[in-house]
A and B are shown apart, each in its own frame.
Chain A
Amino acid sequence: GQQVMQIPQYQHVQEGEDFTTYCNSSTTLSNIQWYKQRPGGHPVFLIQLVKSGEVKKQKRLTFQFGEAKKNSSLHITATQTTDVGTYFCANFVSGGGNKLTFGTGTQLKVEL
């Protein structure tokens, strides 16, 4: 089935630096969702991308879906300590129902 690889696995940044995490697939994705999980918390839905080349922004967060719908990225501008957590991309795999398959996640740490 479709497997989404997410990189990097870990990222340490200084507060104010930018951060980007990438999801890559060997096959075309129908859509992609992004979730954030704070330490000790549960995944929280951030956004869903459906269209080829789609770009969506949420304040300092920019989400992109590749033209070929095989990759996606999440970019955070000027990180803050509140951005700490693990960011997951996820996609629905059809066949026998819609199964949400999560990437391995990127753990972000922000240092003052």
Chain B
Amino acid sequence: DSGVTQTPKHLITATGQRVTLRCSPRSGDLSVYWYQQSLDQGLQFLIQYYNGEERAKGNILERFSAQQFPDLHSELNLSSLELGDSALYFCASSPGAGNQPQHFGDGTRLSIL
């Protein structure tokens, strides 16, 4: 158990819809990271928040947004969903903002029909 909690575990929805994925970091960790894992793209970094503020941005689509709340949990919002958004979405956390080991949650599997 990594201590990182992601909900829901599975999500099935249709194209054009909007979903919210939730992540609670390990106790004491201030950084939250979001990743997308698909068969053809591998594990792709989307975005990082540190203590409530956006810290780093990867190849995150404009249809996607995220935030980190005062209690440090984070949400990833995906809108106008397309078939290609079907993937496993991981959240990870670390104590600080720098080059540290990251601890991953179990992921949310998103399926777009």
Contacts and interface: CB of A to CB of B under 8 A. Distances in A.
Interface of A: 30-31, 33, 41-45, 48, 88, 92, 96-102, 104-105
Q: Most B CB atoms within 10 A — which of A31, A45, A48, A97?
A: A97
Interface residues of B, number: 23
Contacts of A102: 42-45
Contacts of A97: 48, 55-57, 97
Nearest to A91: B99
B85 interface: no
A45 B103 contact: yes
Q: Is the interface of B mostly helix, strand, loop or mixed?
A: strand
Nearest to B59: A99
Interface of B: 2, 33, 42-45, 48, 55-58, 90, 92, 97-99, 101-107
A92 B57 contact: no
Contacts of A96: 56-57
Contact of B56 (A42, A44, A99): A99
Given A42-B105, A96-B57, A88 B97 contact: no
